[in-house]
A = this chain, B = another copy of it.
Amino acid sequence: MRIGELARRAGVSTRALRYYEQQGLITARRSANGYREYGEADLRLVSEIRSLLAVGFTLDDARPFVACLRAGHDSGGSCPDSVAVYQRKLAEIDDEIRTLLTRRAEVAAQLTTVCPGCVLRKAGES
């Protein structure tokens, strides 16, 4: 399939696909006229990339996952490098959550001093 079809099927723009290629995440055969040609495996790669981006991973983070899939594994996460990224990301997310909880408390405190009773419930609490 050509880039337009892959884009439609993967739910991304052609621009994004070319960008992924430029970043070395995906590759494409070229047909005689210079058009990019993709197979089903590429759809799988792009889907993996998208789901990782969706949970806050960067394209760089996605590299090991793509490599893992290309290496024949049925899951992009089942390789040591991918697991390492998972763990690093988890730590990063935890850091961000802690930072946000701190900020939330600070802002709520400020708001309370000028408007007691204005603060609602804390995030995550029902």
A residues lining the B interface (CB < 8 Å)? 55-56, 75, 77-78, 82-83, 86-87, 89-90, 93-94, 96-98, 100-101, 103-104, 106-108, 110-111, 113-115, 118-120, 122-124
Do residues A86 and B107 form an inter-chain contact, with CB atoms below 8 A? yes
Determine the distance from Cα of A101 to Cα of B122 in the docked complex, in whole angstroms.
13
Contact between A104 and B97 (Cβ–Cβ < 8 Å)? yes
Contact A89 B77 (CB under 8 A): no
What B residues does A56 contact at CB under 8 A?
Answer: 100, 103
Copies of this protein, total:
2
Prevailing SS type, chain A contact patch: helix
Expressed in whole angstroms, the Cα–Cα distance for A56 and B110 within the complex equals: 14
